[in-house]
Amino acid sequence: MRIMVKEMFIYLFRVRRWTFDVRRSYLTIFAMLYALYSMPLLAGENLIKNGNFDEGKKTALHWELADGLTSFYEKEEGHGRIVKMDTQVERQQALAWAKTFKADPSLHPPKKKPISKKSYGTIGAVEGVMLDSELIDAKPGQNYKLTADFKGEGKPFVWIKGFLMHPTRKTLVDGYQTRLEPHSASKTKWQTFSIGFNPTKNPRITKFKVRLYAYWPNGLYYFDNIRVEEITKEEMEELIAKRSEVHP
């Protein structure tokens, strides 16, 4: 009997020890996964999928379709595929085509109607031309850096649009925005500009996206190499300081 009791105690000890080891293993795995999730991305990792627009055969993957009248994906030597926007398009033609194109993107765009470069009857004088990226998950408290290359007739905007879940409609609605606006413009020379931003200063923001936007003066605008990356608090402060600089 004593032998049986002893063996039973040994058995129970081993079971408890095995259970403890399993629990410890699960806790270790959980801790590793949490650490991986909490780690910042590799330096320079771009959160914008296909930020250089080169992925995709006929169109740029992970971006809106270009309509072929006001927005285009084109090739440029030394840059690969880029985005071109034409804001010198008659407004009513642009709006009508946008509606038609949304219903059937396979249709060919109409021939552009002639209109004066100084006319206020263009799409650039009112709504402007825009092209959006896919949505990105917003990490709570994270600072980000937006960088873009552009050239063109004037100074375009690159918007960051943040979204939150509407409590009753259960759909994403606008809740945050900021923009990158260059302090100078060149019709022929590519320039690179950056800003820092933090969409979760409003803690309800869960998603954000990039919007390329051109408007006035009428003409052609070009975009390339759109980047969004995670940055440190110190890097954010540096970008904020540069943003406040006065440029001629």
Could you tell me the pLDDT band of residue 10, with boundaries at 50, 70 and 90? Answer: low
Whether residue 246 has pLDDT greater than 80: no
As a whole number, mean pLDDT of residues 179-200 equals 94
Residue appearing with tokens 């000890």: 13
Output the CA–CA distances (angstroms, integers) from residue 219 to 91, 152, 169, 187, in the order listed: 13, 8, 39, 10
pLDDT of the residue at 241: 86
How much of the chain, in percent, has pLDDT values that exceed 90?
A: 75
CA distance linking residue 173 with residue 193, whole number of Å: 28
Residue-wise pLDDT for 214-235, tens only, equals 999 999 999 999 999 999 999 9
Distance from the Cα of residue 151 to its chain's centroid: 20
Question: In the numeric block, which tokens belong to residue 57?
Answer: 């055969």
* Interval 75-107: pLDDT, tens: 999 999 999 999 999 999 999 999 999 999 999
- Could you tell me whether strands 157-165 and 129-132 are parallel, antiparallel, or unpaired per DSSP bridges? unpaired
Per-residue model confidence (pLDDT) at position 228: 98
pLDDT in tens, 51-82: 999 999 999 999 999 999 999 999 999 999 99
Average pLDDT over residues 141-154: 96
Domain spans of the chain? 1-39, 71-243
Percent of the chain with pLDDT over 70: 81
Please state which architecture CATH assigns to domain 71-243: Sandwich (2.60)
In this prediction, residue 96 carries a pLDDT of 98
**Residue 17: predicted pLDDT:** 54
Q: How confident is the model at residue 14 (pLDDT cuts 50, 70, 90)?
A: low
